[in-house]
């Protein structure tokens, strides 16, 4: 129990941290013991050995840090996992227009969420003492979905995304690895059951027939973002008009009927993005690209990469 400055109420540390996190816009917070991830290490090694990472050679680097948080934060005791909603019902007005994954509609989530993590860590230091720790938002060798599963935020579904019975899967994950010892939360049960909708719907067969393994080199998100070479012609007609990322496995997931619209202004799409027609996408210029995707994760592809993707999905 900790005293809360400014009043006489005492409150459980985890409850207070969750209140602070919610005030910053986070959906959920879970806690796990910072320790070596033995089963996850074996799975990651197998995934890499099968070449499922494609050209993402960075996945092979810092293996020890990916599976041991104390290599990232010496003396780490706890891994806090946090989720941040990005779901929106907004859709492009032209059904034939090329599509951008929902997570990239607004400003780049890396910076938006990391700023909030720093504020949360600052608040914790103010009230809980000199906590040593680091903030992570998909930008370091951290197995975020595995830590989120360990901390009880959800289970890893057959599409390998984290799923919550109450929230679906349209949320970002972030971590605080700290040297403060906090009682861990318990993992939750897998609720995918016999459902195979994500497996059946994937147009490139990236998800294994039994689920829970994705061949990243076949995933549309990989082909449109990570792959810097030409997209193999064998994928022509299979991209379903996606030019940056892909939401298909989320769109068909029954648990996403519980997703609710986010409340983050930074993630609101520009009207121009949703109103752009198929022909306007084909004629996009670099000036329009820079204006439309200023501060956006889409800038990862650069103009040349997005233009490549647009031209690829437009050829029949």
Of 283 and 5, more confident: 283
Of 157, 156, 234, 249, give the one whose Cα is nearest residue 200: 249
Q: Distances in Å between the alpha carbon of 202 and those of 82, 118, 197, 225, 284?
A: 28, 37, 9, 17, 28
Q: Give pLDDT tens digits for 135-151.
A: 999 978 999 999 999 99
Within 8 A by CB and 6+ apart from 98, the residues are 241, 242, 243, 278, 281, 309, 310, 313, 314
Provide the percentage of residues in the chain whose pLDDT is more than 70: 96
Confidence of residue 219 (pLDDT cuts 50, 70, 90): very high
Active-site entry in 68, 94, 138, 190: 138
The question of whether 146 is a catalytic residue gets the answer no
Flag whether pLDDT at 262 surpasses 80: yes
Flag whether pLDDT at 266 surpasses 80: yes
Instruction: Give pLDDT, residue 148.
Output: 98
Sketch the domain layout of the chain as residue ranges: 2-90+103-178, 197-314
Mean pLDDT of the chain: 95
- CB atoms under 10 Å from CB of 10, counted, come to 10
Confidence of residue 11 (pLDDT cuts 50, 70, 90): low
Flag whether pLDDT at 3 surpasses 80: no
């Amino acid at each position: 129990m900790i005293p809360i400055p400014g009043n006489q109420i005492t409150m459980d540390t985890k409850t207070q941290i969750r209140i602070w996190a919610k005030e910053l816009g986070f959906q959920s917070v879970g806690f796990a013991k910072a320790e070596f991830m033995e089963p996850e290490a074996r799975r990651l090694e197998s995934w890499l050995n099968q070449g499922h990472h494609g050209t993402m050679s960075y996945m092979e680097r810092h293996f020890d840090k990916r599976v041991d948080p104390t290599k990232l934060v010496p003396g780490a005791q706890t891994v806090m996992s946090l989720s941040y909603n990005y779901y929106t019902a907004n859709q492009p007005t032209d059904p034939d227009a090329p599509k951008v994954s929902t997570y990239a509609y607004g400003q780049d989530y890396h910076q938006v969420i990391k700023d909030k993590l720093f504020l949360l860590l600052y608040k914790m230091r103010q009230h809980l003492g000199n906590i040593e720790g680091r903030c992570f938002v998909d930008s370091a060798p951290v197995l975020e979905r595995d830590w989120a599963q360990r901390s009880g935020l959800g289970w890893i579904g057959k599409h390998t995304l984290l799923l919550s019975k109450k929230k679906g899967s349209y949320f970002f994950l972030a971590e605080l690895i700290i040297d403060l010892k906090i009682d861990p939360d318990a993992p939750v049960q897998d609720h995918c059951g016999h459902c195979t909708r994500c497996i059946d719907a994937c147009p490139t067969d990236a998800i294994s027939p039994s689920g829970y393994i994705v061949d990243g080199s076949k995933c549309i998100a990989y082909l449109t973002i990570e792959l810097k070479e030409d997209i193999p012609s064998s994928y022509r007609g299979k991209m379903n008009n996606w030019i940056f990322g892909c939401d298909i496995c989320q769109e068909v997931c029954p648990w996403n009927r519980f997703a609710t619209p986010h409340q983050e202004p930074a993630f609101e799409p520009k009207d121009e993005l949703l109103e752009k027609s198929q022909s306007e996408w084909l004629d996009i210029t670099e000036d329009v690209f820079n204006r439309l995707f200023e501060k956006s994760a889409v800038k990862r592809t650069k103009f040349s990469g997005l233009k490549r993707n647009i031209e690829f999905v437009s050829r029949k």
